[in-house]
Every structure is written in C-alpha cells, then in structure tokens.
Structure 1
Amino acid sequence: MNGFIIINYKKRKIKGVDVLKKVLIIADPGVDDAFAIMYALLHPQIEILGIVCEYGNVSQDIALKNTTYLLDLAGRNDIPLILGAESPLTASPPEFFYNIHGLHGLGDLVPAIEIPEYIHPFKMVYQLIEEHEGDLTIINLSRLTSLALTFIQAETNIEQVKQILVMGGAFFVPGNRTPVAEANIYGDPQAAKIIATYGGQVTFVPLNISNRAVISPEVTKKIVAQNDTPFSKIIQPIMNYYSKQYETLLPSINGAPLHDVTLFSYLMKPDLFHVVDRQVLITTDGHSKGLTYADFRPNPEYIENYPMHQIIIDFNIEAFIDDFIEIMSTTS
C-alpha cells in the first residue's frame, strides 16, 4: 500500500498472557480511538485482522487518514483498511466532535500522509468472519452504523462471530451527548436498536466504565519517559491536547478518559470488570433519543424472544491503569 515498508515491530512477551485474540476493529480516530488502536498494535496477544473506518468523532476521510498514519508508524500496513459508513442510517447529517479531538482528529497533529489508493470494500468484513469463524471478536469504538449493516445486509454471517464489544450506552450515569444519551448511541440510535434487537453476543461498555478510565498527566509522563515504541513521539502531544479539551468541560478531571481503551482491557483481562446480563433497549427519537436502558430490578421482567446482552457496570480502575502503562510502555 503506497509502497510502505512492513517493519513488523517486535512485541515483547507479557508474562501470563498466552491466548491470541483475533479482532476486527470499527473505529473513527479521534484521540481515544487512536490510543485504543495503539494499545492493540502493541499488545503481544492481540492480532488485528482489519480496521473498518467510519464517521463519528471525525469524518470518514479523516478516520481513514489517521488510521493509515498509525499503521504506518507501526509498520503494519499489511492490516486491511475497510470502508465503513459515511453517515447514520437515520439519514441525518453526521455530527462530528472536532472540539474534543481537533480539526484533524489527533489534536494539533496533522499527519503528513495520504490515504492508500485501495481501501477494501465492506464485504471484506464477511470474508474475515468466514475465515475466522468462531474465533473473531468485533470491537466497535465508533458509531454503530457499520456494525448494524452486518446484521441487515443479505450476505450477513454475523452469527459466526465469537463476541462483539461495543463502546456505547450509559446506565445509572448521565450521557455525554445529552443528559441521557451517550454519543455513539445518540449518533445513530436506529443502528444501535438493530444491534440490541438482533445481536445475541453483544457486550456494552458504557460510560459507567469509560468515563472513569482517566489517564492523568502523571501517567502520560511515566509512559513517555520509558517508551521505546513506534508511537513514542505522538503520545504526549495528542494526550496533552485531549486533556486540555476535557479540562474545559470538567476542570477537576486531571487528565482525560480513554473511553475506547477499556474495550481492549476487558478483552484481555475480563476479571477486572463486573458484568451483568440484561436486555438492552434503545430509544430512537424524542427528548430521550439515544437513551439506553435495562431492567435492573431484583426480579427483572424480560421480553420474550429478545436477546440477552452483557453490560459492564464496574471495574478495577487501578489495575486498568497499570495494564495501560505496561502495554503502552512496551519496548523491543
């Protein structure tokens, strides 16, 4: 792709981790998506089989450019880029968040790189599912539009996926887009409803978790000080920008939440997280558009013929941060 050289950066072995996780990522980088992709690229037991780029934090073009840039830094241009959705199923204009992520999605950083001439069509998703039947995890970091398409298109084989992790929703906590709605769900509630209605292997990682995954300036400095990875030069500047934007919203936050990294942390260390089984429902319009809700009463009532989902409601924050430091500080 564009004549890039494949460096095959050597990942060091993490003691006690020996199970290879095969993942397909759907992303819209965006700072926190970028850190999630970096984490996955550096983790010795994660194999990225492809990255679907769609709209969300930024436009699809910017998402493609930033993903290309991260793969180029890592010398991993062998990982297929796949063309995802440009806009919501609702046909509403997409809403971007340049005020949080910067005009180019990575803070003040403007990657001097071109999007590859060839991007794999969306049908590549079905090919990867078929090739890795029962052994593939889809990790959705962005809006849920592209993921919803895998449920409704004629060639769907989504039932063969091992599991689906979704960054989305808010339970017992306020939303970050509206008082009740989290941004990924709000951005395309129709897509979220499709996934909640038909997806039987979906785990929701909501704001209950991701809002608390705050990486402080002290942690960032620690990572940078001991960093010898392909990303060593970009970690500090993009995290500094991201943190400053969050400080304008939450002056006492002391850093910024890396929402999307929590999905990979859960994938590799599920014991750090508290998961409950519930049916998840989505409100698609009105004042509560984008609301996710479930029956958390002691004796919940369940809807017949509606799938059960997993919702993560708590986690070990200290262990999450320790894991993030270890992986992001990986040296050759």
Structure 2
Amino acid sequence: MYNILLFTDSGVDDSLALMYALLHPELNVVGVVTGYGNITKKQAINNTAYLLKLAGREDIPIIAGSTGPLSGELATFYPEIHGPEGLGPIRPPEDLGEVKVYDINKILEIVKQYANNLVIVGVGRQTDLAIPLILYGREAFESVNAIYIMGGAFLVPGNVTAEAEANFYADPIAANQVLEKARNVFLHPLNITNKAIIPPNVIDYLAENSRSPFKDLIKPVYDYYFEAYKKNVPGIPGAPLHDVITLSALVNPNLVKYLPRRVRIELFGGARGKSMADFRPKPEPEPEATLDWIGMEADIPAFIEDFTRVFMDSSKAGEYNSAVP
C-alpha cells in the first residue's frame, strides 16, 4: 500500500488520475493539493470535491493551491482541450455543499504524519510542489520516500512549444526548484506519456461494464479530450492519459524504464520550459544525490491492462481481455 499526496490541476487527464488513485486497491490518497493549471484554482477545487464525493471519500483533505506561477504572470487555461470546467462536457453540480479547504501548511502536516511512508505525486503545474521547498528548503520533503512527476520532454517535441511540455512551461521557475531541491524524483515526460494511449474501444467497454462510481463520467470526459487531440495530432488513435501512467508507474515498478540524469529547466526565452539532461554516452559526472530518474520507455500494453483492471473489478478485467481486441 502506498500513501500518496496528490498534486493536481484537475483537467481531464488529471481528473482521470484522481479517479484511478481513488479506485486502486494499493493506493491510499491522504490529501489532494489542487490549484491553477488547465483550469482556474476555484474550478479545480470544485472538480476535486465532486470526484471525492462520488467516491464517498469526502474525508480526504483538499488543500488549496496557488492561482498562478511564481513569476507572477497570468495563468493560461485550456478549455478547448479540457472543457470549460476541466471535465470535458461535464459540469459539477452546484449543490456540493460547503467544501472544507485547507491551506498550504496542511502539506507539511501530512508529510510529518506519514514520515518515511509517503510518496508525493505531482501531475499538474509544479508551483505548489515548489513552494514548501522554497519556504523551508530540502528539509520540507526530507522524509518523503519519492516524488513522481508528470512533466518534461527529452529528445522529443514539446506540446506547448517546439521544446517545452505544458507543466514545465507554465512555471519553469517552480519546476527547476523542485528538480534542484527535491530528492528521489521520478520523471514521466512526453517521451512515454504521449504513448500512454487508451484506445476508444476500451473506454466504450468500460462505459458499459465498469462498476466504479465514475462510470458515467469516463466516456464523455475521454471523448471530449480525444476530439481535442484529433485536432492537434491528426491521425492519433486515441487520447494519451499522461497523468494516469505516472500513477500506474508507481504501483507497477516494471512498467517504466528510467535513466538517472541531472535535470535542469530553461527558465526564459524561446526555450522556456525546456527540460535538459546530458544524454551523451559519458555524461559529465554529477553527485549521485542530484540525479533524477527520467522515464525513457514504458510498457503500454501493460498500462492499458492496468487501467482497465482499476476501472472495473478484476473478474471483469478477464472478460475484457477476451471481449475487446
């Protein structure tokens, strides 16, 4: 069992990642930090509260994140990709009741409560993950076992600019702070997440057969996301779930192959948000403590199977294997 503190910005793939985490029998979500990113901070909090309510997990604390990047720039949102509320065409009900929201000090409280028994998973912008490190230094996450991040693009094109991935581009200062100060960081860049495509027929099958509390959300949320991807990447066979594979890699240690390298983020200019590492056969030596683990390859069929098993019980997963090509 992994205790996880999830940092998210509640777009489509972030929301599916939260659903995955709530459903997975080996994941215990002990808090959700939610701020700006694909949508506004307020919308992100509402989405998180809605999904927790559907799962019957309103006991999980929601921690309010930031409203924009450390640079003070206005945040850019992507309703054309994630929908006006971040859940594709779905709008959370307005009668959620009073949602209790904690401030950022709750992060440190949770880290202390689960000392040496906690994994941080950051699938959104890195701003909220960086703030405790900026305020308190490396000691803030010293007792955290590992940090799993979705972000970056190494030796492949970016998805916001020619070289930069969205999470790192939105707040490169924060991303660089996290990678410089945090330890035991596992990165899941576009190298592997672009390939983490769940085929539409799998989604159709889950929409009919899933027993999860999210059954009615899976297809409309995915379809909206897929339609946006088809406009940006003509011919793509399905929508990549960048954030879900980051969680899947945690509970399936053989899913992703990692390469240890020190990673830095370009902060300004035309290459802003570019993730950089030395991939030469003999890279410049770096202190072992500064090395990050870069995901370079992933077993995508195993990921699809894992995704299916999580979104419906294991007995149904066997039925899926014979029913869906």
Normalised TM-score (structure 1) = 0.91
Indicate conservation of the 8 Å contact 1:64/1:115, yes or no: no
Equivalent residue in structure 1 for 2:190, among 180, 184, 207: 207
Taking the TM superposition and a 5 Å limit, the aligned residue runs for 1:1-332 are 20-113=1-94, 114=96, 116-154=98-136, 157-303=140-286, 307-330=290-313
Structure 2 gaps of 5+ residues are: 316-325
* 1:80 counterpart letter in structure 2: P
Which one is further off, 256-265 or 154-163?
Answer: 154-163
Percent identity at matched positions? 39
Q: Distance in 2 between matches of 1:279 and 1:320?
A: 27
Q: Distance in 1 between matches of 2:164 and 2:97?
A: 33
Q: Distance in 2 between matches of 1:109 and 1:320?
A: 26
Indicate conservation of the 8 Å contact 2:130/2:178, yes or no: yes
Indicate conservation of the 8 Å contact 1:42/1:330, yes or no: no
Residue 304 of structure 1 and its aligned partner are, at CA, apart by 5.5
Q: Distance in 2 between matches of 1:228 and 1:171?
A: 38
Residue 253 of structure 1 and its aligned partner are, at CA, apart by 0.8
Q: Distance in 2 between matches of 1:306 and 1:194?
A: 15
* 1:313 counterpart letter in structure 2: M
Q: Distance in 1 between matches of 2:205 and 2:13?
A: 18
- CA offsets per residue over residues 106-145 of structure 1, 9 Å max, x none? 1111111347342011101101111111110000010000
Q: Distance in 1 between matches of 2:287 and 2:221?
A: 47
Indicate conservation of the 8 Å contact 1:197/1:306, yes or no: no
- CA offsets per residue over residues 300-332 of structure 1, 9 Å max, x none? 003469711100000111011011011111389
Structure 1 gaps of 5+ residues are: 1-19
Indicate conservation of the 8 Å contact 2:147/2:183, yes or no: no
Structure 1 segments (4+ residues) deviating >4 Å: 303-306
Normalised TM-score (structure 2) = 0.93
RMSD across aligned positions (CA): 1.5
Q: Distance in 1 between matches of 2:13 and 2:278?
A: 30
Indicate conservation of the 8 Å contact 2:204/2:219, yes or no: yes
| Higher helix fraction (1 or 2) | 2
